[in-house]
Structures are given as structure tokens and as C-alpha cells.
Amino acid sequence: MSAQVANVPAPPVEVVAANVTAALAEDLGSGDVTAALLPDGPDIAYLLCKEDAVICGRPWFDACHRALDPDVRIDWRIAEGDRIAKGTVVATLAGRSRALVSAERASLNFLQTLSGTATITADHVAAVRGTGTRILDTRKTIPGLRIAQKYAVRVGGGDNHRIGLYDTVMLKENHIRAYGSLGGAVQAARALHPTLPLIVEVETLAQLREALDAGCTRILIDDFDAATRREAVRIAKSAPWHGRIPLEVSGGVDMTTLRGIAEDGVDCISIGGLTKHVRAIDLSLKLGPPPGG
């Protein structure tokens, strides 16, 4: 495992298994009619990356192939989370020819998608390096692949926001409206879910002060312009609050604005595009020995 992902827990085995079962059922259906044309003898294959990328998704790739051939041998030449160059042979495989080609598409779909998420996350993390700002994902994920994509964000050096609607309370304008005040909504949330993290989204500096007074785990300043954002940082880091509640920025973030937002002193930047705007990494699995052996 690369140093970059040394502290990233492996994805849950049951999640990988469920993802792979669904993907193979979707692709194979009643059976691979094309693979049936091949002699079902031993063969070898190699996995080629056709662009610079951070590789992520080995557990899913391996599980796809082992589901169809438990005796397949997969020799990885790189570690999970490694950044590699275009043209790198990242793995070689040895197994039954029909199983190799039947597992090909599902295994590549996982690896190219998760590598895409890890790569774009790593690019965003690199853009804010040295500022102390953390890059967060959101719940804008591919249905059924949330745990996988959030794992890929961590492999890319980012951090996870909330996993779903069950593990963190997040108060927005509707909650504040329902309780008549931000403080009232915070009090109700703490009473109902005293052990869960609490994030409060604010739309004005006045609401920011209310949230700082009420207390919470993190404050989201959504769509603030640059001047208001810098004032929000100044307020949050001044007495009597003195930086005790982290500030998160969301909205209006892209690679052209990312560094400037981080340099304003915010603690976190959440970016839906890490998992929503997925551009798969170009990978291919070819039968035969790799170039150069």
C-alpha cells in the first residue's frame, strides 16, 4: 500500500461483494455468449493504464475476477493510491481465458471509475497543499457506489463529509424556519441526536454569529462572496469564538477559485464534483503477455 493511503481503512468486504455481485449479474445475465467462443484453457492478460492517474479500486477489480475464477493469479505492479504515468502496466493476470474476458468489463468499470474519483481528488488536494484546508466530498455520488466513491476520495487524499442521512445532523434554512431561529433548531437537534455530529449551514454573517454562539461541529458558509467569506473567517477566529468551530465552504468552487478560497483561511472545502462529475480513467485489459514481458 502506498504511503498516501497507509491510513485509509480497506473498504468493507461485504460492500465490495455486494457491488461486484450486482455488476456481474448485470453484465453476464444468463451467461457470456461471446466468451463461450473461446477455448476455456489457461491464459494470461495484462492491465494497461493509458493516461496519468491515481489508481484506486483494486479490491473491486480483484473480486470481479475471483468471483469467476477463484484460482486466478493477479500480480499488481503498483500499490493502491499510487500515481502512475501513461503507458504503465499496472497488473498481470493468469487464469482461465473465458473467466478473464467475462470479468473484464465489470472489473474495469470499477477500477476506471474509482481511479477517476481518486485522481481528481488528489488534484484538488494538491491545489490547496500548505494552506491547512481539507478537501471534502458530498452525497452527490453514483447510486449504489457511495461507499466505493467515498473510499476513492480518501485514497486520493481527501476526507468524507457525511456518509448518508443517518450519521450526521445537518441543519439548513428549512429547519431554521421550522423552529423559528437557528438557536432553536440547534437545541432541538442536540436533544434528539445528542451523540451525532452537527453541521449548520448559514446564509448571512448574523446567522454565522448565531451558530457560533449555539455551538456545533462545523459551520457551512454557502455561496458567500469573497469579501463576506473573509469576514466570516475573521469572525470565527476572533474572541469569544477563537476558531473553536471549523468553517466549511461549498458552492462556487472550481480549480480556478480553489486555492484562493483556501488561502482565505477556511478549514474545509466540500466539492460535489469529486464524485458527481466522474471522468473514468482510460484502462484496458488485454490477453497475452505485457509489452516487454
Averaged pLDDT for residues 257-284: 96
Q: Is 158 helix (H, G, I), strand (E, B) or coil?
A: coil
Supply the pLDDT for residue 4.
54
Q: What is the pLDDT of residue 5?
A: 66
Residue 10 to residues 7, 67, 80, 155, 210: CA-CA distances in angstroms? 9, 19, 10, 10, 39
pLDDT band at 172 (very low <50, low <70, confident <90, very high): very high
Query: Of 42-56, 95-109, 119-133, 249-263, which range is least confident?
Result: 249-263
Give the closest residue to 116 by CA, choosing from 283, 273, 280. 280
Give the tens place of pLDDT for each residue, 18-52.
999 999 999 999 999 999 898 899 999 999 999 99
Mean pLDDT of the chain: 95
d(CA 134, CA 120): 14
How much is the pTM?
0.94
pLDDT at 1: 47
Q: What residues does CATH 3.90.1170.20 cover in the chain?
A: 3-125+278-287
Percent over 90 (pLDDT), the chain: 92
Say how far apart CA 233 and CA 235 lie, in whole Å.
5
Q: What is the pLDDT of residue 223?
A: 83
pLDDT of amino acid 222:
84
Contact 134, 248 (CB under 8 A): no
Cα–Cα nearest to 74, from 50, 100, 39, 110: 100
- Residues tagged active-site: 105, 140, 172, 201, 222
Q: Give yes or no for residue 6 having a pLDDT over 70.
A: no
For domain 130-276, the CATH architecture is: Alpha-Beta Barrel (3.20)
- Locate the DSSP E strands across 168-230: 169-171, 198-202, 218-222
CATH number of 3-125+278-287: 3.90.1170.20
According to CATH, where is 3.20.20.70 located in the chain?
Answer: 130-276
Q: Residues 221-229: what's their mean pLDDT?
A: 92
Question: pLDDT, tens digit, for every residue of 233-248?
Answer: 999 999 899 889 999 9
Cβ-based burial of 25 (10 A; exposed 0-12, middle 13-18, buried ≥19): exposed
